[in-house]
Amino acid sequence: MATAVTGHPDADGHFSAPLWRLLQATAEVVAAVRAGQSATAALQNVESGLRPGAQALAFHALRYLGRAESLRALLAPRAPPPHAAALLCTALALCWRDSDAPYEVFTLVDQAVEAAKRSAATRGQANFINACLRRFLRERDALVAASDRDPVARWNHPRWWIERLKQEYPQHWQRILEANNSQPPMTLRVNAGKCAPAQYLSKLAAANIAAAPVGEHGVVLERPRPVHEVPGFDDGVVSVQDAAAQLAAPLLLHGLSAGPTARLRILDACAAPGGKTAHLLELGRAEVIALDIDPARCERIDETLRRLGLKARVVAADARQPSAWWDGEAFDAILLDAPCTASGIVRRHPDVRWLRRESDIAQLAAVQAHLLAVLWPLLKPGGRLLYCTCSVFRAEGEAQAQTFLAHHNEAVLRDAPGHLMPQTGAKANGVPDNLEGDHDGFYFALLEKRAERVSAAQSV
Ligand SMILES: C[S@@+](CC[C@H](N)C(=O)[O-])C[C@H]1O[C@@H](n2cnc3c(N)ncnc32)[C@H](O)[C@@H]1O
């Protein structure tokens, strides 16, 4: 029998399920992330009717998982088995403070205990979970104050991540972590081939949807909504893309010309799911090869292009092995949106911080260096390669570009924003070299190949 308490539907009335059931599904996602699986993959295992609600609660819980695990350790120094720990931490993350609890905290506690009783995986710990949560309700202020002494609770990131940011950004690390813990807005890219941003904003205003412009082609919605309810999404007028990611295609194309009739020949080397491929095609006459190592993700490039009515040659291959996919004709431009730690998009993917290890940074930096070294020779003299990552760590950004430049005297660094720190809200958060407006963390280096080779003697 369903309890009387139901999970609230979202603003558009898309889900309604008993809250205990949603809490079970949410805890399953949290347990999967703690076992190393991405939240996106874990959500695929959640029954479709529960998925939107479970996603909203799981993202909330993951944003406060550091706090919740610290509180759990204060309540029960010996960790319970993983499923019970995940349910307890989910409940603590959702109700640790009233100001942003998604439900009344007593309701959350009741329903978390109900969730424990109704699953074979947690039934044996239901009394324990009940005792922990009731004690938490009685002693909440003192427990929260005690957990404040733990930086993992205070900042909701792993300790190594906090230390790394402190070291790399001694003036700004707190603001970066705060931005990571905030909820990002829904940002759209208006298809330049179909509509001007001002025209699209008028369309939104006519539909009573509050929005503001951002960057050259972007629009930020005041309230997120399901994509298929965004005017023009299904017709390819707009795509969902963060404002920082929207900088890539114009940066690469600006000032490049293929002459009056020819098309620019562009390689998008790490293209899936195709956001930047599509933007390149929306902006100009280009012939784009969209490459990705993951065949399943290549299908997502096809879907993106189909919706927008665009065409590219989509190839599933390893960019590090051009002999398997390159026809020998050099490119005017290469976009290398390299695999990275994704440390700049934590506000959109709150699981990322719990999935990464510090050793991933060096491992991914080595892959990025390999990709840069292999793809550079495929560029025409006078051509440009845009290297970007959605990471704030210097090893995946500035340090990578500097090392590359030190070994390639035919490469010139052109104007590009460099490292951008994540920022939520329209106002700059005081981090230097930040763009105005709301955006994810990113790094951009625009590398141009000199038209003539420079000898070592000339370059000094
Ligand atoms: C940051 S994502 C790209 C996002 C994409 N550019 C967009 O804007 O939608 C990085 C992509 O690189 C792909 N990748 C990783 N290693 C690769 C390799 N050696 N060759 C080609 N693609 C690779 C991953 O599968 C992933 O889809």
pLDDT digits (tens, 9 = 90+) for 94-142: 999 999 999 999 999 999 999 999 999 999 999 999 999 999 999 999 9
| C-alpha to C-alpha distance for 61 and 385, rounded to whole angstroms | 39
For residue 248, the ligand 1 atom closest to its alpha carbon is 8
Check: CB of residue 68 under 8 Å from CB of residue 30. Answer: no
Token readout for 63 is 């944003």
- The token duo for 193 is 């081939």
CB 200 within 8 A of CB 237: yes
**Which of 43-52, 177-186, 366-375, 423-432 shows the lowest per-residue confidence on average (mean pLDDT)?**
423-432
Handedness of CA 138, 115, 70, 74 (dihedral sign): positive
Among candidates 150, 222, 294, which has minimal Cα distance to 438?
222
Compute the distance from residue 121 Cα to the ligand 1 centre, in Å.
Answer: 37
Q: How far is the CA of 294 from the centre of ligand 1 (A)?
A: 8
State the distance from the centre of ligand 1 to the C-alpha of 336, rounded, in angstroms: 8
Q: If pLDDT is split at 50, 70 and 90, which confidence band does 453 have?
A: low
Q: Which residue's CA is minimally distant from atom 7 of ligand 1?
A: 275
Residue 266's Cβ-count burial label (10 Å; 0-12, 13-18, 19+) is buried
**Closest atom of ligand 1 relative to the 320 alpha carbon:** 19
Cα 187 to Cα 52, 60, 86, 176, 340: the distances in Å are: 19, 20, 32, 20, 22
Q: What value does the mean pLDDT take over residues 207-219?
A: 93
240 within ligand 1 shell (Cβ under 6 A): no
Rounded mean pLDDT, 311-322: 98
Going by alpha carbons, the residue nearest to atom 11 of ligand 1 is 270
Q: Which of 143, 333, 324 is nearest to 253 (CA)?
A: 333
Give pLDDT, residue 432: 62
10 band by pLDDT with thresholds 50, 70 and 90:
low
Per-residue model confidence (pLDDT) at position 17? 85
Average pLDDT over residues 343-360: 98
What pLDDT score was predicted for residue 433? 64
Alpha helix segments (H runs only) across 349-455: 352-355, 359-375, 398-407
| Beta-sheet strands, E only, within 216-312 | 218-221, 238-240, 264-268, 286-292
Higher-confidence position of 100 and 90: 90
Residue 152: pLDDT above 60?
A: yes
Q: Is 275 in the pocket of ligand 1 (CB under 6 A)?
A: yes
State how far the Cα of 60 lies from the Cα of 214, in Å rounded to an integer. 26
Q: Quick check: 16 pLDDT over 80?
A: no
Annotation marks residue 388 as catalytic? no
369 Cβ contact partners less than 8 Å away, ≥ 6 residues apart: 400, 403, 404
Mean pLDDT for the chain?
93
Residue owning the nearest CA to atom 17 of ligand 1: 293
Q: What is the pLDDT of residue 413?
A: 97
Cβ(242) – ligand 1 distance below 6 Å: no
Structure-block tokens of residue 377: 């020779």
Query: 419 C-alpha vs ligand 1 centroid, how far in Å?
Result: 19
Q: Is the pLDDT of residue 200 over 70?
A: yes
The one-letter amino acid at 380: K
* 3-class secondary structure, 373: helix
> Tell me, what's the pLDDT at 260?
66
| Residues 434-442, mean pLDDT to the nearest whole number | 84
The arithmetic mean of pLDDT across residues 275-296, rounded, is 95
29-53: per-residue pLDDT in tens? Answer: 999 999 999 999 999 999 999 999 9
